[in-house]
Structure 1
Amino acid sequence: MKKKYIIIIISAIVLLLVCVYIIRKTSPIEKKGIYIVCAGDSITAASYPENLEAIFHLKKLGRKIEVINRGIPGHTSGQYLAYLQKSKILDSTIINIVLLQLGTNDVRIDTDHTGTEQFYNNMRTIINLFKSHTNSDLSHPEVFLSTIPPIVVEVPGFFNGESKRRVVEEINPAIFQLGEETHCPVLDNYALFMQNPKLLPEIHPNDEGYRAIADNWYKMLKPFIAEMP
């Protein structure tokens, strides 16, 4: 009788283990969350990161995606580099993807003016800082770059014709070159606004323009995220 009970218990345990195995094999594997950091100046600090997160939630890609806004209004590449070095945000943040857009304030004609070579060096250092960040799972962030929008209006004391020229002939070419050198994909938001001028009435986009930036980023990131573990 005792032997019979032992056989029943063993059979029940085996059946339970088989059921657990089948459930695990047939259930979809839950993928880990993704943390996207948007780094830049006031164009980043505005609403495009919020819009981007809303798009990800709407599209339901099967995993949690959190978009973190680290835009600082008024920052040049040099000021943002100093912010990264002093704030220590990299020490306490999980970062899987970085969206980096800087350069608009670097073409100003006041004290924020930054030479192209210095801009290039600042950006390269920023990219290296992000890429060298190590997450708890020993992974490193993937960095994506963006060209900056055109300067469509002159603002006395801040932006003039020289600012417009530098965006086209110096800053955006430098960003494409940085992309090649550091193996970072480049999103052409300059082209976005040249093709849709109503989205950029002044130095900053309008609400529709910020939504367009978010949609542009989503289109670039979707296939990349689909391949992430």
Structure 2
Amino acid sequence: MKYKRTVAILAPLLVLAGVGGWFAYQKLHPAPAITHILCMGDSITASDYGDYTAHMTDRFRESRAPIEVTSAARPGNTSGEYLRWMRETGLLERTNPHLVVLMLGTNDARVDGDHTPTPLFVKNMHAILDRIAAHHNPDTTTPAVILATVPPIPEPSLEVFNQSSQRRVEKEINPAIRQLARQRRLHLADVHGFFRQRIELMSGVHPTPQGYSALGDFLFREARVFLTGQQNAPEKERLPDNMRGTIAFESNRDGNFDIYLMNTDGVRRLTRSPARDGFPSFSPTFDRIAFESDRSGRFEIHTIDRSGRIEKLFASPTRDRSPWWTLDGKYIYFDRLVDGKEQVFRFHLEKKKVEAVTSGRHRTAVPTVSPDGNILLATGHRHMGWDLLRIDLSDGKESVFTPGYGGCRAKYSHSGEYVAFVSHKFDKRGDIILTPAAEFSPTRLTVDGDRHDYYPAFSVDDRHIVYASGPQLYDGNYDLCIVEIATRRTWTITNHPATDYKPVWGEWGNP
């Protein structure tokens, strides 16, 4: 009887422990979210001649990427017919894609009743792209687009195509597609150029079976690069040529954690200390960087100027981390450990005075302040987990800024119009979310479901966001990535086995 009573008592506890362990495992090892790719096109996409989307699917399966490919091919369709079909069938509403691969134009070059004048083709393509841009998925993302040129026609193999069709594909249709990509800042997949170099893979108007396979491989690489920024390792890590400014970040690539700088010339080390230096924040005049360092034995706030001179601003009674320099240059906000919990403080640079901003029994950390100095956003733990808190600095009134999203590690855009932050809502790993600062209206920017995306910061022109992406939560091999806000095109700009993270984007000259 005693044994049975013991079992009766322990059994529910063991079940609860198992369930708790399962939830803990799920939190640490969440299943990757699925990224949906929709391939829109005509018979060059999929038909009885072949199906590049099937080969594309095979490649993603081989790479074990959490990506699903759906064909939305309409053999024989012109751009106008396809536009009408996608309207009538609610294509985007049915599929909710994260990425669209759009390739139309071959049938617009026909010589029968489907002949489409180039200005009308361009108008139709704009209308298709406008519908894609206006669509919002349930996870708040707007589909990104890869716009593809169409293959050459080496020999008209169908009676509805002739030498005029050949000429139009070369001189009108593809130049119009390239112009569309430039005008709308879209990623261009040059399918035409791909087949020009492999013309034996074309059989008249359509690719050969081997051509469809090769096209699937080509567009797999284009989509994978677009979604993750993972290109062949560059010889030199640097900011892309079309982007200005300097990114400061924390890295342990030389052994311990220091501050590094990246611009279009490459990467250089800014601080050199056996201690840990990290979490950089530019001054509004870009002549100094605030950072946290434990070089005194505990984390305290320091600054470094362009000459390399380092100054500790004040002594901490506990530990001070996560500095943020306000746009007016008056304050550096930071979080301090008080009775074992983080609270937000600020240092008045002119008065040399530390002031408490938050207090109480709850944790409030990682502050960022609006450019007008009125609103503090901070990562706060109140009752049931972490949220992004909005605190009015005039009266201390506090509210949850990201209801239903959790949220942490926010940054204001330089204009103050937008806020970027991290949320685990969709893939349980961490995505970069964008919202207007005035009203919470979130848009998911990153959808790479097998990685953790953290620490967003806006470019100096507010057109891009730099962030850190890694396979593990908080540490491990994080690399820096950039996402273009308008198109969601992504670049990976570091390629190092170390941890590169906590970036901030400003200006910085050479000493």
Regarding TM over 0.5, the answer is yes
Distance change >3 Å, CA 92–CA 156, structure 1 → 2: closer
How far is 1:21 from its partner? 8.8
1:67 lines up with 2:86 in the alignment:
no
Q: Distance in 2 between matches of 1:206 and 1:153?
A: 13
How far is 1:123 from its partner? 0.5
Instruction: Please list every run of 5 or more consecutive structure 2 residues that lacks an aligned counterpart in the other structure.
Output: 1-9, 229-445, 449-511
Q: Distance in 1 between matches of 2:87 and 2:20?
A: 53
Q: Distance in 2 between matches of 1:38 and 1:24?
A: 32
Task: Give the one of 109, 120, 123 matched to 1:121.
Answer: 123
Instruction: Specify which structure has the higher proportion of strand.
Output: 2
* Structure-to-structure mapping, 1:30-49, within 5 angstroms: 30-46=31-47, 47-49=51-53
Deviations 1:172-222 (A, max 9, x none): 011011111122111011111111111102111111100111111111111
Helix, strand or coil: the match of 1:140? coil
* Structure-to-structure mapping, 1:59-98, within 5 angstroms: 59-61=63-65, 63=66, 65-98=67-100
The answer for the alignment partner of 2:489 in structure 1 is none
1:211 lines up with 2:213 in the alignment:
yes
Instruction: Give, as a single letter, the amino acid of the residue that structure 2 aligns with 1:36.
Output: I
The answer for the alignment partner of 1:224 in structure 2 is 226
| Range 169-178 or range 29-38, more displaced | 29-38
Instruction: Specify which structure has the higher proportion of helix.
Output: 1
Instruction: Give, as a single letter, the amino acid of the residue that structure 1 aligns with 2:41.
Output: G
How far is 1:225 from its partner? 2.6
Aligned identity (percent) is: 35
* Structure-to-structure mapping, 1:1-229, within 5 angstroms: 23=25, 27-46=28-47, 47-61=51-65, 63=66, 65-155=67-157, 157-226=159-228, 228-229=447-448
Q: Distance in 1 between matches of 2:215 and 2:61?
A: 17
Instruction: Give, as a single letter, the amino acid of the residue that structure 2 aligns with 1:32.
Output: A
Helix, strand or coil: the match of 2:141? coil
Q: Distance in 2 between matches of 1:70 and 1:214?
A: 15
Q: Distance in 2 between matches of 1:39 and 1:21?
A: 39
The answer for the alignment partner of 1:5 in structure 2 is none
Instruction: Give, as a single letter, the amino acid of the residue that structure 2 aligns with 1:110.
Output: D
Contact 2:202–2:211, Cα closer than 8 Å, also in 1 = yes
How far is 1:19 from its partner? 6.4
Helix, strand or coil: the match of 2:31? coil
Distance change >3 Å, CA 72–CA 24, structure 1 → 2: closer
How far is 1:89 from its partner? 2.2
How far is 1:30 from its partner? 3.0
Deviations 1:136-192 (A, max 9, x none): 111110011111011111347411111111111111011011111122111011111
Q: Distance in 2 between matches of 1:126 and 1:167?
A: 20
Q: Distance in 1 between matches of 2:224 and 2:142?
A: 19
Higher relative contact order (CA 8 A, sep 6+): 1
Instruction: Give, as a single letter, the amino acid of the residue that structure 1 aligns with 2:70.
Output: I
Q: Distance in 2 between matches of 1:200 and 1:20?
A: 53
Deviations 1:97-131 (A, max 9, x none): 11100000000111111011100010011011112
The answer for the alignment partner of 2:504 in structure 1 is none
What value does the CA root-mean-square deviation take over the aligned residues? Answer: 2.3
Contact 2:158–2:205, Cα closer than 8 Å, also in 1 = no
How far is 1:133 from its partner? 1.2
Instruction: Give, as a single letter, the amino acid of the residue that structure 2 aligns with 1:216.
Output: F
Helix, strand or coil: the match of 1:113? coil
Helix, strand or coil: the match of 2:193? helix
Count the aligned residue pairs: 215
How far is 1:45 from its partner? 2.1
Distance change >3 Å, CA 29–CA 201, structure 1 → 2: same
Q: Distance in 1 between matches of 2:93 and 2:221?
A: 30
How far is 1:23 from its partner? 4.3
Deviations 1:29-58 (A, max 9, x none): 433101111101111123101110111001
